Amino acid sequence: MNGLKDFLVEKRNDKGINRHTVWEYEYQGRRLCIDRNHDVGGNQYYLYEDGKGGEGCGTIWYEDLRAARNELKRLFMTGEPVKRGQDMVGWKGEQCCLGCRSHYSVDDPEYEKCWSDCNCRYEKKKHAKRAASGREVLKQWAKVNRLLDEKRGDKDSRKIGNNTYLKRRGSGIAVLLHNTDILLYTEGKSIILDSGGWKTPTTKDRMNEWLPMGYGISQAKGVWFLHTPTRGTFIYQDGMRIGPYGAIYGDGKQKEYKRVQKETKAIQAYAKAFAAKMVKGEIPPPDAGDCWYCLMRDKEGKSLGELSRDKGHIREHIKEKYYVPSLLRNAMEKVPTSIYTGHQIYGIWRGEDRFAASRDKYLEQEITRILVKYLKRELNIAGVHG
């Protein structure tokens, strides 16, 4: 279901002790209602099943109509019952009142106990915030859809930044950076994130620019994290998805964080040793004796390892301290390299200026930098500027 407008059965105004506005919706034989109590302070919207209305200590209040509609749509789609505070903490019957103790008047000393950690007040607020956070995902979908619809001529593509475009993908819309759909808004209003293996500052910046408000990518020690407005922080993983109501699916696990830390240290040690041997002239030029995954390339210059997406050979090189000349050549082609650095490296391979190069700490540092950036990219570890 894309919207609720077609499922609205009735909207009415009720007057009793308080003034109420009620929206009744029906979907696949199930009827749910949104009730706005105009005479209560703070949030005024709550949900109930048709014929099962009424307010109480377990009522979950939503900040506005859109947040309430987000939750109502989720209930229609999942078939779940309307939640109340006691459902959040698993209380039943008398256990709820004894645990929450929120029926005391404010002047009763026992009232203070209702603010203890055992009551459901926090859980109710958290649930309502989650419903509200879904608004930003839906609003972002509407925004990118509108940007394409407003464009003159071709409404399937629009440039939104340097090497960045909005592209229609069937019923979805993608944010395309170079050749990668870094964000894909699906028909169900979910958002799929994918760096394409390029965890660069540019990729991160573009994602942050086009993610919904309150969501963002940050980096710490080579690991990306996805921050959300109400559900906390998750380890980033390509292919992870933000659901239409803000839920996160397919996030990375803690073992991924540990893997990145371990591999980063190994990469740095390998690159440093490789560079030291290179400036001393101990690394021969690329030849047929090199690792075939590093050496062999197609007409477009892509290595066999890149074409097959095999990363195991790189991990083996690092583990065995096998300094493959073709690997350095590939790194120089993928990572921006100065003319001076390139001239010095190829000069060493031609047997020129070995003595001068061995004293050049700048060259050693540059080779280390090039290798670290290339290896991090190949092993899907977030990089930094430089």
Residue 274: band (very low, low, confident or very high) from pLDDT cuts 50, 70, 90: very high
Is the pLDDT at 343 greater than 60, yes or no? yes
Q: Are 367 and 375 in contact, with CB atoms under 8 Å apart?
A: no
DSSP codes of every residue in 244-263: TTS-EES-B-HHHHHHHHHH
Residue 285: band (very low, low, confident or very high) from pLDDT cuts 50, 70, 90: very high
Residue 385: band (very low, low, confident or very high) from pLDDT cuts 50, 70, 90: very low
Angle between the N-to-C axes of helices 339-349 and 361-378, in degrees from 0 to 180, rounded to the nearest 10: 100
Kindly report, residue by residue over 305-327, the tens digit of the pLDDT: 887 778 889 999 999 999 999 99
* Residues 6 or more apart in contact with residue 130 via CB below 8 angstroms: 230, 231, 245, 246, 247
Alpha-carbon distance of 167 to 42, in angstroms, equals: 41
Residue 270: band (very low, low, confident or very high) from pLDDT cuts 50, 70, 90: very high
Integer distance in angstroms from the first to the last C-alpha of the chain? 47
Task: Please give the share of the chain, as a percent, with pLDDT higher than 70.
Answer: 84
| pTM for the full predicted model | 0.56
Q: Are 283 and 274 in contact, with CB atoms under 8 Å apart?
A: yes
Is the pLDDT at 187 greater than 80, yes or no? no
Average pLDDT along the chain: 82
**How is the chain split into domains, by residue range?**
5-139, 145-252, 256-378
pLDDT value at residue 102: 52
Is the pLDDT at 3 greater than 70, yes or no? no
Helix (H, G, I), strand (E, B) or coil at 273: helix
In the chain, DSSP finds a helix count (H) and a strand count (E) of: 13, 14
Range 276-289 average pLDDT: 91
pLDDT value at residue 251: 85
CA dihedral angle for residue 225, residue 228, residue 233, residue 239, rounded to 10 degrees? -50
Please, which residues bridge with residue 346 across strands?
none
Please, which residues bridge with residue 252 across strands?
235
Helix (H, G, I), strand (E, B) or coil at 125: helix
Q: Which residues of 340-369 are buried (b: 16+ CB within 10 A; e: fewer)?
A: ebeebbeebbeeeeeeebbeeeebbebbbb
Tokens of 274: 């490789």
Is the pLDDT at 147 greater than 80, yes or no? yes
Kindly report, residue by residue over 38-90, the tens digit of the pLDDT: 988 778 899 998 777 778 777 888 888 888 887 888 788 778 888 877 666 66
Where helices occur in 211-246 by DSSP H, the ranges are none
pLDDT value at residue 369: 94
pLDDT value at residue 41: 76
Alpha-carbon distance of 36 to 18, in angstroms, equals: 10
Angle between the N-to-C axes of helices 65-78 and 121-149, in degrees from 0 to 180, rounded to the nearest 10: 90
Kindly report, residue by residue over 32-48, the tens digit of the pLDDT: 999 999 988 778 899 99
Alpha-carbon distance of 68 to 57, in angstroms, equals: 18
Q: For residue 10, report the phi and psi dihedrals to the nearest 5 degrees.
A: -160, 145
pLDDT value at residue 245: 73
Kindly report, residue by residue over 83-123, the tens digit of the pLDDT: 877 666 666 555 555 555 555 454 556 555 555 545 666 67
Alpha-carbon distance of 9 to 275, in angstroms, equals: 72
Residue 269: band (very low, low, confident or very high) from pLDDT cuts 50, 70, 90: very high
